[in-house]
A and B are shown apart, each in its own frame.
Chain A
């Protein structure tokens, strides 16, 4: 029977849900993650699985401690954090280090601030930076790829693929003298972190998200331009010391940052103008840290620094109110 208690309009809903969004992002990430498993074998699986389990357990514990329904731990947000963190780690990371990082990301990066939607910093990147500071050796021990090769006798699995031993190698970012073919960078058959090597698969996943309307193209575009423009200028002035824009964009975590990390819904600004500024800031910082900092990779730091600026950006760069001329003193005229 019809209920007649007053409820506010609208009396219909698009059907979009937060959980849907989270799983769509996970779906978009999965090709690159699976590609990482193909490249690095069993160690990659270990890292991925230990991250996921650790994230889910931390989520359940935190929800219980806050008296919330623990069932909401399956909303996909912690799984997404785990996936992002795992993909930014080298495949040779020991399982316990990955687990600590993920627990830190969920507990300190997210729930200390009040849980989903309240964290000012990207939890995965917070976990990544914490690991980088605490375990600098393990976190910079990149593995050479060892994907199974298809020979005359069928698939041949290398020793590394089975997780027996790893051969460490430098990423293209750490070693500028090692010239990389652009198609190698695109497909991702070079050394690097678990899930960031294939720029192509990541970009395809990102385009899928844009097509589905989950993210808007402002942050990816401005972030990539934010790296490419200063990189091109520096490379044009001094090609010896500065990598080209191509190798900046296609190696390391640039693509992952552009489509999946900087676009994190919770920690990025919401207005188009704000997103453009945020993305450009991230891009510029990534290039600065990579070129002048003491770390070969700057994605995590750059994103965290810009996260800190998100509230300010959201406060000042609001969308233009319909019909109003001024961007700032808007409440006065209304």
Chain B
């Protein structure tokens, strides 16, 4: 704690990495699932429309579902095979919700359905790059899953000058970005240059945590000789992967609460996304697979593995030697922010970056005690909040009080829960409070809409009644007038 290096931002924690489990293994590309399950409902709730029917033959890379707008990225078949079924199936959402799902059997042929020749991608205009990215269904692979094409287009509109590439990977256990940087540095750099061109950025910074020396070397070599791309080594501190904190660590700029990074002219993308962009633009290949880390002390042989989108967790785990008996919890993502999987039979979607199987010992969850106001949560909160106060308000259903203490700025990064000596599940309180506030907000919106509609209807009725009255009056008036004229005459 007496480190002389200044901390890149206030707060943060140093959870043990466990990266050695998978850090030294090449990305395995041999995994072939016998079936893939592709949900028609995306993480943000929007629906896709299937373009295929049961019994159709599909080829690897074929467009099989499309949304109604650009916010819903298209879906391509990750395998060659037959559409076996279209039925409700579990999604990776922790609620265990089922959505309409295409089940495609795999015939084992690993070739692409059509040829994707390399095109002269250097000469493409920025709009063409964005078009290709949108068409390929690329989303942010860092975890948020926002459509990359949309992000690039919006960034150009708001005149972004700096592209920041996130190679931080601050979550314990995860090493897929690390391996990707080591093995495919040149593709990543090419993708980064395409993204920079698409948004019109004048400078590009790649940020990597200092616990990945090989990745730093690989990227350094790959971007050697290119102007405008610089590499920045940042200290390993959780949550370095958070957009705001990475920006603070690299540029010193603190994005204001409620503000987007693009307002300061900075756009952040993940390294894996850069690689997908390269594939999408140069070869016009759709995003149908991704590298994930399968790790944890309860997996037989942890690995980094390329999985077709839609592979079941159970298949991937089986590929990695299966679970050990002490497995207590299966998590999609890292241990700090990952979600508990509702079942081993859920498909992996584009935003899943890791699968962890942890034992009781590694989860290290204990019964929670009373808060002793030790202030550790305040000390580690990277957003400068007072988690224990927010939790106290949330505990009393005082959502407004929680918001006054900055609930809206909370990242749910879990640093406070991680450090809390009383083992209070602080993040759980905040998730609960946030969902309640959201529900309230949508209720208010709904009732406002209903009120507006009712008012509009009443106004319309009043208008119609007035018109009727006027018409009646006009009808009655005519004879009166005529009578009057008669009388006068």
User: Are A and B part of the same complex?
Assistant: yes
Q: Write the residues of chain A forming the contact surface with B, with a CB cutoff of 8 angstroms.
A: 1-18, 20-21, 72, 75, 77, 115-118, 211, 213, 216, 265-271, 314, 318-325, 330-331, 333-334
Given A319-B378, A319-B384, does the pair A9, B370 have CB atoms closer than 8 Å? no
A325 near B421 (CB under 8 angstroms)? no
Determine whether the beta carbon of A314 is less than 8 Å from that of B372: no
A211 to B3, CA, bound (A): 12
Interface centre among A3, A72, A270, A325 (most CB of B within 10 A): A270
Known: A314-B389, A322-B384. A331 touches B406 (CB 8 A): yes
Complexed CA–CA distance, A329 and B256 (Å): 14
Task: Answer yes or no: B15 CB below 8 A from chain A CBs.
Answer: yes
What CA separation (Å) do A334 and B405 show in the bound complex? Answer: 10
Is B419 among interface residues, defined by CB-CB distance under 8 A?
Answer: yes
Which B408-422 residues sit within 8 Å CB-CB of chain A?
A: 408-409, 412, 414, 417-422
Q: Judge whether B409 and A13 touch: CB under 8 Å.
A: no
Q: How far is the CB of B295 from chain A (nearest CB, A)?
A: 12
> How far is it, in angstroms, between the C-alpha of A333 and the C-alpha of B335 when the chains are bound?
31
B335's contact among A8, A9, A269, by CB below 8 Å, is which? A9
- In the complex the two chains form, what is the Cα distance from A320 to B344 in whole Å? 43
**Given that A14-B13, A265-B373 are known contacts, is A8 also in contact with B257, CB under 8 Å in the complex?**
no
In the complex where A1-B327, A16-B421 touch, is A334 in contact with B384 (Cβ < 8 A)?
A: no
A-B contact pairs, 8 of them (CB 8 A): A2-B329, A9-B337, A11-B336, A13-B418, A14-B419, A117-B372, A321-B257, A322-B383
What residues on A are CB-neighbors of B382 within 8 Å?
322
* Docked CA distance A70–B299 (Å): 40
Cα A175 to Cα B20 with chains together (Å):
64
A60 to chain B, nearest CB (A): 17
Q: Which among B188-196, B203-211, B358-366, B472-480 touches the partner chain? A: B358-366
8 Å CB contacts to A: which residues of B113-156?
A: none
**B372 engages A322 (CB within 8 Å):** no
Q: Are A318 and B337 in contact (CB under 8 A)?
A: no
Kindly list 13 other residue pairs between chains A and B, CB separation below 8 angstroms, not including A17-B423, A323-B256, A323-B259.
Answer: A4-B340, A7-B329, A9-B331, A9-B336, A9-B337, A9-B338, A11-B358, A13-B366, A18-B374, A118-B370, A265-B374, A322-B9, A331-B406
Q: Does B330 contact A (CB under 8 A)?
A: yes
B244 with A323: CB separation less than 8 A: yes
CB atoms of B15 and A14 under 8 A apart: yes
Closest to B385 in A: A321
Asked whether any CB of chain A lies closer than 8 Å to the CB of B254, the reply is yes
0/1 per residue, B314-339, Cβ < 8 Å to A?
A: 00000000010101111101011111
Flag if B414 contacts A9 (CB, 8 Å).
yes
Contact status B378-A10, CB under 8 Å:
no
Which residues does chain A contribute within 8 Å of B404, judged by CB atoms? 330-331
Asked if B425 lies at the interface with its beta carbon under 8 angstroms from chain A, I say yes
Chain A residues near B422: list those with CB within 8 A.
Answer: 17-18, 117
Tell me which of A17, A216, A267 contacts B366 (CB under 8 A): A17
Complex CA gap A266/B375 in Å reads 9
Minimal beta-carbon separation of A45 from chain B (angstroms): 29
Cα A2 to Cα B317 in complex, Å, equals 13
Q: Report whether A4 and B364 are in contact in the complex, using a CB–CB cutoff of 8 Å.
A: no
* CB-nearest residue of chain A to B346: A4
Given known A-B contacts A1-B327, A18-B369, A265-B373, A12 and B1 have beta carbons under 8 A apart: no
Q: Is B255 interfacial (CB 8 A cutoff)?
A: yes
Q: Are A325 and B370 in contact (CB under 8 A)?
A: no
The answer to the question of B103 belonging to the interface, with a C-beta cut-off of 8 Å to chain A, is no
List chain A residues, Cβ under 8 A from B389. 314
Select which of A3, A5, A11, A324 is within 8 A of B256 by beta carbon. A324
Q: Considering the complex, give the chain B residue whose CB is closest to the CB of A216.
A: B379
- Give the CA-CA distance A304 to B15 in the complex, in Å: 37
Residues of A within 8 A of B330 (CB): 2, 4
With known contacts A9-B427, A322-B384, A334–B336 Cβ distance under 8 A = no
A18 touches B428 (CB 8 A): no
The complex places the Cα of A302 from the Cα of B56 at a distance, in Å, of: 81
The chain A residue sitting closest to B428, CB to CB, is A8
Nearest CB in chain B: distance from A156 CB, A: 44
Identify which of A2, A16, A18, A75 gathers the most chain B CB atoms within 10 Å of its CB.
Answer: A2
CB-contact partner of A333 in B15, B258, B383, under 8 A:
B258
B253 closest partner in A (C-beta): A323
Q: Which residue numbers of B lie inside 8 Å of A, CB to CB?
A: 1-2, 9-10, 13, 15, 94-96, 172, 244-245, 248, 254-259, 298, 323, 325, 327-331, 333, 335-344, 356-358, 362-366, 369-376, 378-379, 381-386, 388-389, 403-406, 408-409, 412, 414, 417-423, 425, 427-428, 431
Q: A4 CA to B245 CA in the complex, in Å?
A: 32
Once the chains bind, are B337 and A10 in contact (CB under 8 Å)? yes
User: In the complex, what residues of A have CB within 8 A of residue B341's CB?
Assistant: 4
- A334 near B409 (CB under 8 angstroms)? yes
Q: How near does chain A come to B323, taking the closest CB pair, in angstroms?
A: 7
A325 CA / B357 CA spacing, docked (Å): 42
Q: How far is the CA of A72 from the CA of B248 in the complex (A)?
A: 43
Neighbour of B421 across the interface among A3, A21, A211, A314, CB < 8 A: A21
By a CB distance below 8 angstroms, the chain A residues around B427 are 8-10
Q: Is the CB of B370 within 8 A of A12?
A: no
Residues of B within 8 A of A321 (CB): 257, 383-385, 406, 409
In the docked arrangement, what's the CA distance between A272 and B336, Å? 26
**A117 x B370 contact (CB < 8 A):** yes
Is B343 in contact with A318, judged by CB distance below 8 angstroms? no
A-B pairs, 3 with minimum CB distance = A270-B375, A10-B414, A8-B428
Measured between C-beta atoms, what is the minimum distance from B193 to chain A in Å?
30
In contact, A265 and B375 (Cβ under 8 angstroms):
yes
Known: A117-B370, A117-B371, A322-B9. A12 touches B384 (CB 8 A): no
Contact B335 A324, beta carbon cutoff 8 Å: no
A321's closest neighbor in chain B, by CB? B384
Give the residue name and chain of the B residue nearest to A11 (CB): B335
Residues from chain B with a CB closer than 8 A to the CB of A2 are 298, 323, 327-330, 344, 357
Interface centre among A13, A77, A118, A314 (most CB of B within 10 A): A13
Task: Choose from B343, B373, B385, B403 the contact partner of A4 (Cβ within 8 Å).
Answer: B343
Partner of B419, one of A7, A16, A318: A16
- Chain B residue numbers with a CB within 8 Å of A5 are 340
Q: How far is the CB of A203 from chain B (nearest CB, A)?
A: 17
B residues near A333, Cβ cutoff 8 Å: 256-258
CA distance A11 to B405 in the complex (A): 25
- Evaluate contact between A211 and B417: CB separation under 8 angstroms: no
Task: Check if A8 sits within 8 Å of B370, measured CB to CB.
Answer: no
Taking CB as reference atom, which chain B residue is nearest A72?
B369
| B363 A8 Cβ-Cβ under 8 A | no
> Are A6 and B342 also in contact (CB < 8 A) when A211-B1, A322-B9 are?
yes
The residue on B at minimum CB distance from A320 is: B384
Cα-based distance from A18 to B370 in the complex (angstroms): 9
Return chain A residues, CB-CB under 8 Å to B383. 321-322
Q: How far is the CA of A219 from the CA of B305 in the complex (A)?
A: 51
- A216 surroundings in chain B (CB, below 8 A): 375, 379
Q: Identify which of A10, A117, A322 contacts B417 (C-beta below 8 A).
A: A10
What residues of B have a CB within 8 angstroms of the CB of A18 in the complex?
369, 372, 374, 421-422
Q: What residue in chain A is nearest B425 (Cβ atoms)? A: A8
Compute how far the CA of A282 lies from the CA of B488 in the bound complex, rounded to whole angstroms: 102
Q: Which residues from B are CB-within-8-Å of A323?
A: 244, 254-257, 259
CA distance A18 to B428 in the complex (A): 20
